[in-house]
Structure 1
Amino acid sequence: MAYRVAVVGATGAVGREMLKTLAERNFPVSDVIALASGRSAGAQVSFGDSKTLTVQSLEKFDFTGCDFGLFSPGASVSAIHAPRAGAQGCVVIDNTSQFRMDDDVPLVVPEVNPQDLRWFNKRNIIANPNCSTIQMVVALKPLHDEFRIKRVVVSTYQSVSGAGKEAMDELFGHTKSSFVHEQSAPQQFTKEIAFNCIPHIDKFMDDGSTKEEWKMTVETKKILDPSIAVHATCVRVPVFISHGEAVNVAFEKPVTAGEARALLREAPGVEVVDVREDGGYVTQLEATGEDAVFVSRIRKDPTIENGLSFWCVSDNLRKGAALNAVQIAETMIAMGLIGRKAA
């Protein structure tokens, strides 16, 4: 039994990672179609170690007969083509921000709220959350279930890959330029990214927060619990792949670091590496290419009642995007929410 899968935005960083993840996890495919804009039609992308796919034009593609559409083409493109694919019977799993806060679209992290997948057919679209939100709620879920979270304060350390391939190229180019005493104006960022941290991701909003910070707040409420208060500060750092987060949590019930550590060790999608010695934690470099959300530096916060702090890192292109999308499709199959078709 197998499924026909279209990957939309197949030439981008996340699209390529989706193709790689489908192959690595032996997702049961009968056919994989790589789609992108008309200007990329005819390009070649890899699927697994030995198969090459020819990119087709998204604009001309008929999604009839496709079981899943894994979308990562940009919000404005998804706004046009995701509803079209859904209307043609394809289940769209959209990685853009376009549908995340739509009341008729479930926003899902399979380890956290798989039950929300049951109402996917309102629009035949499921939204993949923001990468920074995904890794945080995976770590928060088991703690919330046991101790009930009241408030979260998070500071992120987000890699440039979250802003796309051009942003990665800019970090590389600016880093190289600094060693030969050359200067080039930033194009993808508001300031020089090499050897720097920029406390500004996405657009500024009226209250002084950025849209990335707003996303973390509203998405956490939709996925985990609307009663949780969230305050985020999102920072772009000169790292190519993987996001880090320093998370401070206030609970309704008393909690010790040991209790939290034990719960997180058993939580799906989480790996705890928390040794109180030099190097006894996971960094962004080490998380790159891995599937897990890594949690370290778990400790009591004595300045607030029932407070706890921890550090978490995850590959934003994998768990923060491609892997989460593929896991949604896998979960739908396991829950019997999509018809099975013979290969």
Structure 2
Amino acid sequence: MNKYKIAVLKGDGIGPEIVNEAIKVLNKTAEKFGFEVDYDEALLGGCAIDATGVPLPEETIAKCKAADSVLLGAVGGPKWDNQPGNNRPEAGLLGIRGALGLFANLRPAVIFEPLKNASPLKAEIIGDSMDIMIVRELTGGIYFGKRGKFEEDGVPAAYDTEKYSVTEIERIGRVAFDMAMKRNKKLTSVDKANVLDSSRLWRETIIRLSKEYPEVELSHMYVDNCAMQLVRNPKQFDVIVTSNIFGDILSDEASMISGSIGMLASASLSSGKSGLYEPIHGSAPDIAGQGIANPLATILSVAMMLRYSLDEPKAAEAIEKAVSEALKTVRTPDIYTEGTKKVSTSEMGDIVVSLL
């Protein structure tokens, strides 16, 4: 029997609530498919600041490195807004990505059939379905570049640097091309090569790399045009690969096309099998503790974990099918529609478990 060790970072706000439901589903899946899971909890984000003074304690890094995979809830909240930039909860998130070498972020934007009417786009634009995989570079670019504040002619100013090396671009490019090979062999590389030198290097590198993947149809698109095309004709996309900041923005846009940001999972991968799995929504401190948060994005993140890190694809598929089935009759308040039953966070978790 396979046995997996999962580091659990519940985080802040609704994080503990949604992670508890995901663990409930993972336990049931393990029982059904014949494997075992051990959990090791650690602190990240605002809760870590409260307990230790820093958003990413060394103990958390050690536990995550020792695990087969990491499950994260969400971090942040207004309580910690007055922390200096390098000690905010979000700094802990950036730090754990760097510490684990998580350079590739996979963000699927999928419309489940029962939620088709929840999309803000017209049915004729969406068509029968939407299934886009955004591959976002995660440890380079402007979020990790040199930054600072200074005075210019007596006026406060600041700068942030967008920088990429060929090595970083090739690394994320291979993940995207490999993903395209497993899907519809179609890849769109998004940049701003008409303005930025870093984007020109990005495009040159992706073009050169494409020669290793002759079966993949490669196209290029400026980020502003891509943002427009996602709402004009999302069906044209299959796999999108892009930089850290562009991927951050485009993946949130794609999430809303799918009907609710509360439905979308993500995977952050290293060069090995381990990864960090989390919903793409935030900590929603305004609804924390009310039992109304949507746990499905976190549950679907567990499905991604089973597929990409734990080599349990049948278990992953079972969770996805259970979620789709649950949505036919029950909804949390964020996705509620007339004719369905409104349920709490824990009730939704229980229903997914029962459908497994």
**Is the shorter-chain TM-score for this pair beyond 0.5, marking a shared fold?**
no
Higher relative contact order (CA 8 A, sep 6+): 2
Structure with a larger share of its residues in helix: 2
